[in-house]
Amino acid sequence: MENLVNFWRDRRVFVTGATGLVGSWLVKALLAQGAQVIALIRDADPQSELLRSGDLRRVAVVNGRLEDFATLERALHDHEPDTVFHLAAQTIVGAAHRNPLENFESNVRGTYHLLEACRRGQPFVQRIVVASSDKAYGTAETLPYVETMPLRGQHPYEVAKSCADLITAAYHHTYGLPVAIARCGNIYGGGDLNWSRIVPGTIRAFWRGERPIIRSDGTYVRDYLYVEDVVDAYLRLAVYLDRPGVAGEGFNFSPERPMTVLELVERIQDLMDCRHIPLDIRNTAVGEIHSQYLDASKARERLRWTPRRTLEDGLRATIAWYRAFLDEQDRLWKDRNLTGDGFNHD
């Protein structure tokens, strides 16, 4: 990022969702740039990249849930961050379909709780980035999505994202909250342990010599953006928040190279030399939009952001991460079987 070498040095940054895929990589990037990170953590997953990398030991931890407003208010007043990244959410479309209450509590109530705590925490909160999704647009007659399109989700996950984005915009336009919205398509990269997602699930299946499961018919179209490019986007959006045409706005971030699920899986097959393993196409997806992809021209023009990695580069890095992770898990599993109970008896 141009002329921003020391921007994050010594800044106090509050991150929700720090144990998730993007949150773990965002914390890593912030620490590398000298920021003082405060992380809201609901559940401590020992397999999270935040814990496995040792980064958890380098951040201040606030234990709690987005649904608990008092926890958020205390965290902000105690730590006085000048930047807030709101990434915590229920992120699985299928889970939202099965349990809409948890989806709305986390993604809607959690968002307005965080924004209200920031509003009351001013003036030290100077910039807020809310992570959203292309799902906020719902089904559109024409693609790609552009930021001027209405937000009209229909299924629980989409509706939660639409609501959260509208609430976020309301806090800017009504109270002047310095906030902007980041909308991405499908994010992939090392550290995503939601095995129902297409990239980690496919890589693990091929690593095991198994057939990867495709829940749809394989023709669904999506954007696929590498996690480190997403982190770059969030950081840039935060830095640019005090510039004209940024605060109160939504921004699409995309490589602008949409592809079908089958095309993506075949790329992984080639990179892992697994063309001999057939696919298991279930065609059972429920509550998912068939085609979604984003126009990122607004981010290019106002934020001067473009992704730095090609799909092949991102997939190679992701496959390498999962191979190392799965090899380690395999060794641990074998060691537990050798001792019989998982304990070292030396």
Q: In what helix (H) or strand (E) does residue 13 lie, and over which residues does it extend?
A: strand 12-16
157 is catalytic: yes
Rounded distance between C-alpha atoms, residue 52 and residue 291, angstroms: 35
Rounded distance between C-alpha atoms, residue 200 and residue 209, angstroms: 14
From the candidates 157, 188, 224, 293, give the one annotated as an active-site residue: 157
DSSP state, 211?
P
Rounded distance between C-alpha atoms, residue 18 and residue 231, angstroms: 12
Rounded distance between C-alpha atoms, residue 32 and residue 8, angstroms: 9
DSSP state, 83?
E
Helix axes 198-208, 261-271, angle to 10 degrees: 40
Rounded distance between C-alpha atoms, residue 1 and residue 214, angstroms: 37
Give the residue numbers annotated as catalytic, written as ranges. 157
